[in-house]
Amino acid sequence: MLVLRSSTLTQYISNDNDIALAGSARLGTANAQDSERDILTGLLLLNQSNSGFAGKTSDDIAIVAANGSTRYDIILKNGTSQQYLLVNPGNGGMAIRIV
């Protein structure tokens, strides 16, 4: 993900934000250590400036290593009973918690 930085934009006047790691090839396939798909909950919203981040979502929204998955697959979060519905398959795909 390309994040443009500029000292003339701040998080207080710009509504152009990016989600950290969305679409990142670093979140492509299942983790090689346990063959589970990594799930990052509580997404960080990056602003288009050099002044930090704009906010964080609830843990109900996640980025998933979902390359090769199908839309509406159910992804289980390792070590919990939480389930996420994959709405955007692919590298750094987005998922929403359903259980």
Q: Residue with structure tokens 């692919």?
A: 90
Residue 64 counted as domain residue: yes
Q: How does pLDDT run across 13-50, given as a tens digit for each residue?
A: 555 555 666 767 767 777 778 888 888 888 877 766 66
pLDDT at 1 over 50: no
Count the domains in the chain: 1
Closest to 22 (Cα-Cα) out of 84, 87, 79, 78? 87
Q: Given pLDDT bands bounded at 50, 70 and 90, which one contains residue 3?
A: very low
Output the six-digit token pair for 18: 């990016």
In the chain, % of residues over pLDDT 70: 69
Question: What domain range includes position 24?
Answer: 17-97
Question: Distances in Å between the alpha carbon of 85 and those of 53, 55, 75, 96, 99?
Answer: 26, 23, 6, 5, 9
Asked whether residue 5 is assigned to any structural domain, the reply reads no
Q: 48 in a domain, yes or no?
A: yes
Residue 56: inside a domain, yes or no?
yes
7: left (phi over 0), alpha (psi -120 to 50) or beta: alpha
Q: Please check whether residue 9 lies inside any domain of the structure.
A: no
Q: Tell me what the pLDDT averaged over the chain comes to.
A: 77
